[in-house]
A and B are shown apart, each in its own frame.
Chain A
Amino acid sequence: MILQLAVTGLMVGMVYALMALGIVVIYKCSSIFNFSHGAIVAFMCYLAWAFIVQIHLPLWLTFLLLIASAVVLGWIIQVGILRPLIGQPLLASVMVTLALMQVFGGTVTLIWPGPARFYPEIIPSGTLNLGGAAISYESLISLAVCVLAFIAFMYFFQYTKLGLAMRGTAEDHQLARSNGIRVVRMFTLAWIIAILTCSIGGVLVGNMHGVNYEPVSGLAMKALPAVMIGGMESVVGALLGGLLIGIFETIGSGFLDPLVGGGFADVFPYIAMIALIIFKPYGLFGYEKIERV
């Protein structure tokens, strides 16, 4: 039982980790917490559905179009909406992401009103038995996709020039500027990367739950405790945080549900998060702020 719970916890946690990555990338670069993350995940999920089922495009074209849409959307959000707010109080930008959540939610209901939709059957439904733990092909593929995405993003941040520029921007805007990095361009890039992770996450979650606004955006917001546990500025933290939350959830419902009468999976991650924050106020890998008078 423990093996089964641990394995499924890790699988689920990987998806949370991917969502957490989206939030962390934006926060790391521009110190804005993106409240519209869940809404964007759901929007990209619907968009992918529209490409595949409504317009009947082949899979490879959908893939490319999704990347293109992520770029366009990221650009619109940063240049059109957040750029005028540079230099203004940070809370205004945060409020804008809140309003963006309404915008995306409204767009989804506007363009695709009606009952839930489904992706066509691309992944065969079967089960793999690994030493007593049953794993479905679907979760295996989603695990593989998440791991690949993480490896790609980590490679990008560590070994490419652009990734280095982003890390520089995340550390100090002034210094980055004096090194010739266009900081505002980096913001746009951060948003594009975040929306890319949203698209991947959206398609994976859409496969699990169907293309349905509430469940998909609700699941994406479960990444919040993951971000907190891992630290808001750390990519590795997002990974670890997501996995931990996945495991906490399955352990919570596996062992503690019968004690408290059910439904503990929803609140256990938050309790764990508070407990951890009391001991490590900045999360596992977050930047500790050293303040001087």
Chain B
Amino acid sequence: MSRRPSGNFETSYAQDIAICHTGFQQVVMILFLIALLIIIPLFSSSYILSVFNIIGITIIAAIGLNILTGYAGQINLGQAGFIAVGAYCCAIFTNHLHMSFWLALPLAAIITGLVGTLFALPSLRVKGFYIAVTTLAAHMIIMWLITHGGKVTGGVEGLASTPPQIGDFVFTTEQHYYFIIIGLTVLLTYAAKNLVRTRFGRAIIAVRDNDLAAPFLGINVFRYKVTAFFICAFYAGVAGALMASYYKMITPEYFPMLDSIWYIGYLIVGGAGSIVGTIFGVVFLKLLSQLVMWGGPLLGAIAPIFSAGAVSGLMQFTFGIVIIIFLIFEPRGLWHRWQIMLSSMRIWPFPY
């Protein structure tokens, strides 16, 4: 991808791995952050803020998954299970132990990370699709433990959690949560971007590309795999804790197995192996599902010959078809298409 019309020529290592390479990119980044953190929360309706909040929580979990699956190459089909661990830990801490949210969040994330390392252990022997199914089984086992957790986890009845507060100020509305969630999203995205352009990032990419040759370079494959699992589960834990707090009440139904599989979907649609790609993927799919939700009643009002059940089925059908058509046109994900578009715009009117 060419950033400058005359080509990419950096003069220092720091410049080479920088996030914003040119002055123009820096300005755009600052404007974007101002819009995201100041303009949007002040001028948007509650509904739009709620959409942002959901997208923010999902992005955190998806980025964690990207580090494990996109960068380290270990397919993880149990992300929703890890999110559940984070959510329930946070709920238990704030509800039963009356901890403050600001303490419960990092604690829940760390505990989730440790649970992640537990399920990383089979990766010593198992590879490829089999580790995927091991993580799927991890999800099922976690959910079974939660549902049969009696009074501690609330079992099937669910667990409420107290809202975060600073002193006397309690976070209740969408706007309040927006600042916490989007703030954390920006922070964690930046952290992830940093992680993957350091030694750790290069090591796990090496593990993904060829984990037999990696040890020859002095990379302790098992240790990096386990660390990647920890980070993925940590991010999932943060997302889960935010979820517990935002939804105010969590039940086991919030973490179905299919959700785990859809997290991989976010990565694929967005472009695995790229942090910004994940954001694209989550935003695209979440907006699509919002559209599908709006479309149902609208279609039912416009065309009353369809029964409401049929209309909802049609919406689900459309959701699948749009994804299929999208993938046929761009199997490498939105990020790839974005790169191509940027390059072609930059060197327009020349083809290359």
Contact = CB atoms under 8 A, between A and B. Distances in A.
A108 to B, nearest CB: 7
A270 B141 CA distance: 8
A81 interface: yes
A1 interface: no
Residue from A84, A92, A106, A261 whose CB has the most chain B CB atoms within 10 Å: A106
B126 A113 contact: no
Interface in B274-321: 307, 309-310, 312-321
Contacts of B133: 224, 228, 273, 277
Residue from B127, B318, B324, B332 whose CB has the most chain A CB atoms within 10 Å: B324
B342 to A, nearest CB: 21
Nearest to B326: A99
Interface string A250-292: 0000000000110100110011011001100111000001011
B97 interface: no
A289 B128 contact: yes
B268 A91 contact: yes
Given A101-B320, A289-B128, A95 B269 contact: yes
A92 B268 contact: yes
Contacts of B319: 99, 102, 106
B313 A281 contact: no
Determine the interface band of chain A, counting residues with CB < 8 A from chain B: 35 or more
A33 interface: yes
Given A84-B328, A273-B137, A106 B313 contact: yes
A260 B148 contact: yes
Contact of B316 (A102, A232, A291): A102
A109 to B, nearest CB: 3
Contacts of B106: none
A135 interface: no
B228 interface: no
Contacts of A107: 313, 317
B122 to A, nearest CB: 6
Given A95-B268, A281-B127, A35 B332 contact: no
A110 interface: yes
A33 to B, nearest CB: 7
B320 A88 contact: no
B268 A113 contact: no
A64 interface: no
Contacts of B269: 95
Interface string B115-157: 0000000100111111001101110110010011000000000
Interface of B: 122, 125-130, 133-134, 136-138, 140-141, 144, 147-148, 210, 212-213, 216, 261-262, 264-265, 267-269, 272, 307, 309-310, 312-321, 323-324, 327-328, 331-332
Majority secondary structure, B binding face: helix
Contacts, number: 140
B331 A89 contact: yes
B182 to A, nearest CB: 27
A92 B318 CA distance: 18
Contacts of B328: 81, 84-85, 96
A273 B139 CA distance: 13
Contact of B125 (A96, A225, A260, A281): A281
A114 B130 contact: no
B304 to A, nearest CB: 14
Given A91-B264, A113-B310, A270-B140, A278 B125 contact: yes
B331 A105 contact: no
B101 to A, nearest CB: 32
B151 to A, nearest CB: 14
Given A105-B316, A110-B317, A113-B307, A292 B323 contact: no
A93 to B, nearest CB: 8
Top-7 shortest CB links A-B: A109-B313, A106-B317, A113-B309, A102-B320, A106-B316, A110-B313, A103-B320
Contacts of B310: 109-111, 113
Contacts of A232: 129
B332 A106 contact: no
